[in-house]
């Protein structure tokens, strides 16, 4: 009777973990920017608060209160509509509602950024890359809805447009062959 010279379950020399591919590093950079830029837009919206809401409403009063804009002269829509809203006591309602939408946007963006950053740190796992893809798609849809519905100030809209580019790049880099091969090799190395 002979005995095995090795411990049970020993299959040979340990497999070293594979080197991280450049595509994985770029994925983490793009996904990180997809999280950080909306957080910057949220901070801009949160800090801007009421003055930003008032300025945006004055600039786009014909979009927010079309029934009022129709009552005023077309050349002086902004001034006339704002004065009419103030005289009717409705101006505070519109400003408060827009300010509340900015605060909601800020909170939603910061929560979304935190979630996406967690998935970004775990990007070497396949399940995390699936969640990065879903988060990036959901974030892009949220930004599109916010830009279309709330007509944010140009500073916020520009940051969100740049975020779309990084969302797309993060999604593409999630599924590049080197990143997928690295995930499979990491699984085998465990």
Tokens of 3: 């005995």
57 φ, ψ to 5°? -65, -40
CB atoms within 10 A of CB 46: 16
C-alpha 108/C-alpha 32 separation (Å) is: 17
> Which of helix, strand or coil describes residue 155?
helix
Evaluate whether 160 touches 41 at the Cβ level (below 8 Å). Answer: yes
- Residue-level pLDDT at 170: 94
Q: Which residue has the tokens 């809203």?
A: 85
Local confidence pLDDT in tens for the 190 residues of the chain: 565 555 555 566 666 777 888 998 999 999 999 999 999 999 999 898 889 988 888 877 766 666 665 665 555 656 677 777 778 888 888 889 888 988 998 999 999 999 999 999 998 888 999 999 999 999 999 888 888 877 788 889 899 999 999 999 999 999 999 988 888 888 877 7
The pTM assigned to this predicted structure is: 0.77
Evaluate whether 84 touches 71 at the Cβ level (below 8 Å). Answer: yes
Evaluate whether 131 touches 119 at the Cβ level (below 8 Å). Answer: yes
């Amino acid at each position: 009777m002979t005995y095995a010279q090795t411990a049970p379950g020993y299959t040979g020399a340990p497999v070293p973990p594979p080197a991280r591919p450049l595509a994985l590093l770029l994925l983490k950079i793009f996904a990180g920017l997809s999280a950080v830029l909306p957080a910057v837009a949220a901070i801009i919206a949160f800090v801007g608060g009421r003055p930003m809401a008032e300025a945006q409403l004055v600039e786009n009063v014909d979009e927010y209160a079309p029934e009022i804009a129709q009552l005023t002269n077309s050349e002086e829509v902004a001034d006339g509509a704002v004065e009419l809203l103030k005289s009717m006591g409705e101006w505070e309602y519109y400003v408060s509602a827009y300010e509340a939408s900015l605060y909601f946007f800020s909170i939603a963006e910061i929560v979304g950024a935190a979630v996406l950053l967690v998935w970004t740190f775990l990007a070497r796992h396949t399940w995390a890359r699936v969640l990065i893809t879903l988060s990036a798609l959901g974030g892009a849809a949220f930004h599109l809805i916010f830009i279309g519905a709330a007509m944010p100030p140009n500073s916020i809209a520009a940051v969100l447009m740049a975020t779309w580019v990084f969302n797309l790049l993060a999604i593409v880099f999630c599924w590049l062959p080197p990143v997928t091969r690295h995930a499979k090799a990491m699984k085998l190395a465990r």
